[in-house]
Amino acid sequence: MPAAPVILNNTPLVALWVLGRLDLVRDLFGEVMIPPAVHAEFLAVDHAARQEALAHASWIKVTPLRNVRRVLAYVGLDEGEANVLALAEELEGTVVIDERKARRYAKRLGLSLTGTLGLLLLAKERGFLPSVRTAVDTLLGAGLYLNSDLVAAVLRLAGEE
């Protein structure tokens, strides 16, 4: 039986791009999906560089929703987050999303989920990333927000406190 599809939201995608490690999702999951709304959101900033990065990341597939009306159920989420949840619901997939409200929706839907820090921890556990702390420092230095309590917990789990 094939593994459940993995659907990324924009924030984890941006984080991996900042790290220059889009390959981590390939190493961890083989292939991942992003809905067109996340693709557009990702390319809205630094279009040329991000477009080039995606061109070399054939394991990231832009996957449209079969039922775009499903997105309307996710009140209060931005378009990308709503599309990620709708696609994950359609495909019974795992969600990689950081935003608190979207995570609450995913839990209510019974979807499997993780976030950027969870990906980094898993990558270290599987030997694809030497240090979670170094990655976190890079993300924070680039201006990405990471909850300090969550960072501390993940660094403890990684043995890097």
Confidence grade of residue 69 (pLDDT, cut at 50, 70, 90): confident
Tell me how long the chain is: 161
Query: Terminal CA-to-CA distance of the chain, rounded, Å?
Result: 38
The answer on pLDDT for 24 being more than 60 is yes
Share of the chain above pLDDT 90, in %: 89
pLDDT single digits (tens) 74-104: 788 999 999 999 999 999 999 999 999 999 9
- Retrieve residue 91's tokens: 């495909």
pTM over 0.85: yes
Say how far apart CA 88 and CA 95 lie, in whole Å.
Answer: 6
Average pLDDT rounded to a whole number, residues 119-143: 97
CB-CB contact of 149 with 120 (8 Å) = no
Using CA atoms, how far residue 94 sits from 8, 32, 91, 114, 115, in Å, is 9, 10, 9, 8, 10
Give 74 or 58, the one with higher predicted confidence.
Answer: 58
Name all domains of the chain by residue range, CATH numbers in brackets.
6-129 (3.40.50.1010)
CB-CB contact of 70 with 90 (8 Å) = yes
Say how far apart CA 31 and CA 25 lie, in whole Å.
Answer: 7
CA-based angle 50:54:55, to the nearest 5? Answer: 115
| pLDDT of amino acid 23 | 97
Confidence grade of residue 72 (pLDDT, cut at 50, 70, 90): confident
pLDDT, averaged across the chain: 94
- Retrieve residue 52's tokens: 């080039």
The answer on pLDDT for 2 being more than 60 is no
Say how far apart CA 44 and CA 36 lie, in whole Å.
Answer: 12
